[in-house]
Amino acid sequence: MQQGNLILRNAARDEGYWVGVLLATAVVWSILEKSTTEDALAGATCLLIAAAIILRLTLLRRWHIYTADWTLDDEKLTVGTRVVPLEDIDSVGLKNGTFTKGSLYLIIKGRQTMRLAALVRGKERDASIRSIREMGWALKQTIERLDGTEDAEG
Residue 132 is predicted with a pLDDT of: 95
Mean pLDDT of 7-17: 89
Mean pLDDT of 127-154: 85
- State which fold the 2-10+65-153 domain adopts: PH-domain like (2.30.29)
Residue type, 80: G
What's phi and psi for 10, nearest 5 deg? Answer: -85, 95
From residue 105, alpha-carbon distances to 49, 88, 92, 125 in Å are: 29, 19, 11, 13
Distance separating alpha carbons of residues 4 and 18, to the nearest angstrom:
31
Residue 154 is predicted with a pLDDT of: 56
Q: Could you tell me if 135 and 69 are in contact, meaning their C-beta atoms sit under 8 angstroms apart? A: no
Residue 78 is predicted with a pLDDT of: 95
Residue 147 is predicted with a pLDDT of: 84
Mean pLDDT of 111-135: 91
Which carries the bigger pLDDT value, residue 147 or residue 71?
71
pTM higher than 0.95: no
Mean pLDDT of 34-51: 89
Summarize pLDDT for 63-114 with one digit per residue, the tens.
889 999 999 999 999 999 999 999 999 999 999 877 777 789 999 999 989 9
Residue 73 is predicted with a pLDDT of: 93
Ordered by start, the domain boundaries in the chain are 2-10+65-153, 11-57
Mean pLDDT over each residue of the chain, to the nearest integer: 89
